[in-house]
Structure 1
Amino acid sequence: MIVLPGASSAEGIAAGRGSTFYAGDYFRGDIYRGDAEAGTAARLIDVPRGRHALGMAAHPRHDLLFVGGGRTGQAYVYDIGTGRTVASYRFGPAGTTFVNDVTLTRSGAWFTDSLRARLYFVPVDRHGKPGRFTALRVSGPAAGIKGPFNLNGVQATPDGRTLIVSHSTKGALYTVDPASGRSAAISGVSVPRVDGIVLHGRTLWAVQGFRGQVRRITLNGSLTSGKTKKTIKSGLFRTPSTAARFGDTLAVVNAKLHTGTPPTAKGYEVVMVNG
Structure 2
Amino acid sequence: MVIADRSFARRRLLTTAAAVGGTALLGGTAHAAETRKKAWPDRFPLPDGFQPEGIAIGSTPFAYFGSLANGDIYRASLATGRGSVISEGPGPGHPSVGLKLDRHGRLFVSGGAGGDLRTVDVRSGRIEKTYAVGGTFVNDVILTPGAAWFTDSFLPRLYRLALDRHGRPGAVTTVPLSGDWQQGTDFTANGIERTPDGSALLVVNCFADGGTLMRVDPRTGAATAVELGGAALPNGDGLLLVGRVLYVVQQQQNAIDVFRLNAAGTRGRAIARITDPRFRIPTTAAAWGDRLYLPNARFDVEQPAPDTDYDAVAVPQV
TM-score band, normalised by the shorter chain? over 0.9
CA contact (8 A) 1:3 1:41 kept: no
Residue 274 in 1 paired to residue 316 in 2? yes
The equivalent residue for 1:54 is 97
Q: Which amino acid aligns with 1:163?
A: L
- Asked which structure has the greater CA Rg, the reply is 2
CA contact (8 A) 1:12 1:26 kept: no
Q: Could you tell me how far apart the structure 2 residues matched to 1:52 and 1:201 are?
A: 31
The equivalent residue for 1:68 is 110
Residue 144 in 1 paired to residue 187 in 2? no
The equivalent residue for 2:239 is 197
Q: Could you tell me how far apart the structure 1 residues matched to 2:55 and 2:202 are?
A: 18
Deviation at 1:6, TM superposition (A): 4.0
Residue 235 in 1 paired to residue 235 in 2? no
Summarize the alignment of residues 124-273 of structure 1 with structure 2, pairs less than 5 Å apart. Answer: 124-141=163-180, 143-157=181-195, 160-169=198-207, 170-187=210-227, 188=229, 189-260=231-302, 263-264=304-305, 266-273=308-315
Residue 44 in 1 paired to residue 86 in 2? yes
Deviation at 1:166, TM superposition (A): 0.8
CA contact (8 A) 2:196 2:244 kept: no
Q: Could you tell me how far apart the structure 2 residues matched to 1:222 and 1:49 are?
A: 40
Q: Could you tell me how far apart the structure 1 residues matched to 2:162 and 2:204 are?
A: 22
When residues 257 and 111 of structure 1 are mapped into structure 2, their CA distance, relative to the original with a 3 A threshold, is same
Under a length normalisation based on structure 2, what TM-score does the superposition of the two structures give? 0.80
Deviation at 1:158, TM superposition (A): 6.2
CA contact (8 A) 1:13 1:23 kept: yes
Deviation at 1:133, TM superposition (A): 0.1
Q: Could you tell me how far apart the structure 2 residues matched to 1:134 and 1:31 are?
A: 26
The more displaced of 81-90 and 31-40 is: 31-40
Q: Which amino acid aligns with 1:121?
A: R
Q: Which amino acid aligns with 1:52?
A: P
SS of 2:170's equivalent? Answer: coil
String of CA shifts for 1:136-169, please: whole Å, max 9, x gaps: 001122x312242111000124664210111123
Q: Could you tell me how far apart the structure 2 residues matched to 1:7 and 1:127 are?
A: 37
Residue 20 in 1 paired to residue 62 in 2? yes
Gaps of 5+ in 1: none
Q: Could you tell me how far apart the structure 2 residues matched to 1:16 and 1:222 are?
A: 25
Identity %: 38
Q: Which amino acid aligns with 1:149?
A: F
When residues 202 and 21 of structure 1 are mapped into structure 2, their CA distance, relative to the original with a 3 A threshold, is same
Under a length normalisation based on structure 1, what TM-score does the superposition of the two structures give? 0.92
Q: Could you tell me how far apart the structure 2 residues matched to 1:197 and 1:128 are?
A: 22
Gaps of 5+ in 2: 1-42
Q: Could you tell me how far apart the structure 1 residues matched to 2:165 and 2:266 are?
A: 32
Q: Could you tell me how far apart the structure 2 residues matched to 1:128 and 1:6 are?
A: 34
Residue 89 in 1 paired to residue 131 in 2? yes
When residues 159 and 85 of structure 1 are mapped into structure 2, their CA distance, relative to the original with a 3 A threshold, is farther
Deviation at 1:192, TM superposition (A): 2.1
Match of 1:105 among 144, 161, 177: 144
- How many residue pairs align between the two structures? 269
The equivalent residue for 1:35 is 77
Q: Which amino acid aligns with 1:184?
A: T
CA contact (8 A) 2:137 2:153 kept: yes
Which aligned segments of 4 or more residues in structure 1 are displaced greater than 6 angstroms? Answer: none
CA contact (8 A) 1:193 1:208 kept: yes
